[in-house]
Amino acid sequence: MMTDSGEARVEEPVRTNTVEAGDRFEAVLVTAPRCHLCDDAKHLLKELQHDYPLMVREVELSSDEGMALSRRFSMPFPPLLLIDGVRFGHGRISRRKLVRLLDQRSGRGS
């Protein structure tokens, strides 16, 4: 599409709350060493990767990025889970709530 001045105009795609084919959810997990809740969250995300287009990235709390995320999202204790840049939760991560969110966002939810 062209503008009045003859320049090409790029239209931004409209984002919906559902994932389209080929899209992936980005899960960022902020963890700490010797944290059993962090281990539980890592295990849960690994299991869910079999059923959902989930790209998981682990960030160590002691890293610059981990400290910044901890401050930004007021994490009282690890782990902190972000889904597509939005705080999902911290501490014990609820499988049921996470599955419900992923189902809704992927168009599987009712």
Any domain includes 18: no
Measured CA distances, 90 to 12, 45, 79 (Å) = 33, 14, 5
Any domain includes 2: no
Any domain includes 11: no
Any domain includes 19: no
Q: Nearest to residue 97, comparing CAs of 56, 58, 21, 105?
A: 105
Any domain includes 6: no
User: Residue 81: what are its φ and ψ, rounded to 5°?
Assistant: -120, 125
Convert the pLDDT of each residue in 18-64 to its tens digit: 444 448 899 999 999 999 999 999 999 999 999 999 999 999 999 99
Measured CA distances, 15 to 47, 48, 93 (Å) = 27, 23, 27
Q: Which domain holds residue 63?
A: 25-105
Any domain includes 88: yes
Q: How many domains does the chain have?
A: 1
Any domain includes 4: no
Any domain includes 61: yes
Domain containing residue 43: CATH number? 3.40.30.10
pLDDT at 110: 54
Convert the pLDDT of each residue in 53-106 to its tens digit: 999 999 999 999 999 999 999 999 999 999 999 999 999 999 999 999 999 988
Give the list of residues 6+ apart from residue 39 with CB closer than 8 angstroms, or none: none
